Homo-oligomer: A and B are copies of this chain.
C-alpha cells in the first residue's frame, strides 16, 4: 500500500503542508519520490510518521527529532546516540506524566468545587467551609495550592 501526502496527512490528522514542512526540516529523509518528483509514502514510512507524530505531540522539538531520524539513517554507529535520545525522552515523558497528574488533581478538585457552588448558587458556601467539610481526597491538592480555595 502506497500513500500521497494528503492521504498521510488525513491518517495523522494534520494538514498536508505540515507533512511537507516536516520533510523540508529533514524529518522524512526516508520518503522516496516518483519519477515526476511526487512523494510516495510506504507502510513503513507511515510507521515512522506515527512515531514522529507521537514524539512531537509530547513536546520533542523538531530539531531533536531530526537528530534522531538522521542517526537512524546512518546505521549501527549511532545506536548509542539514539539510545541516549530515547532515554532522555523517557525521562521527559515521566516528568510530563507527573505534571499532567498534578493538573488533573487540581482540575478534579475544581470540578467538585464548581459543582458544589452550582448546587448552592453561590461560592459563599465554599468560602465558609473548613477542611473538615471538604472530601479528604482533595486535601493534598488544597495543601499544594496552600492559599484559599478559589
Contact = CB atoms under 8 A, between A and B. Distances in A.
Contact of A111 (B83, B108, B150): B83
- Give how many copies assemble into the complex: 2
Interface stretch (A15-23, A32-40, A112-120, A130-138): A112-120
A12 interface: no
Nearest 10 CB-CB pairs, A to B? Answer: A47-B147, A44-B147, A47-B145, A83-B114, A54-B103, A58-B103, A86-B110, A76-B122, A93-B104, A43-B147
B97 A51 contact: no
A148 B47 contact: yes
Given A79-B123, A114-B86, A103 B57 contact: yes
A111 B123 contact: no
A104 B118 contact: no
Given A86-B107, A99-B54, A100-B97, A43 B80 contact: no
Contacts of A114: 79, 82-83, 86
Contacts of A43: 146-147
A36 to B, nearest CB: 25
B100 A96 contact: yes
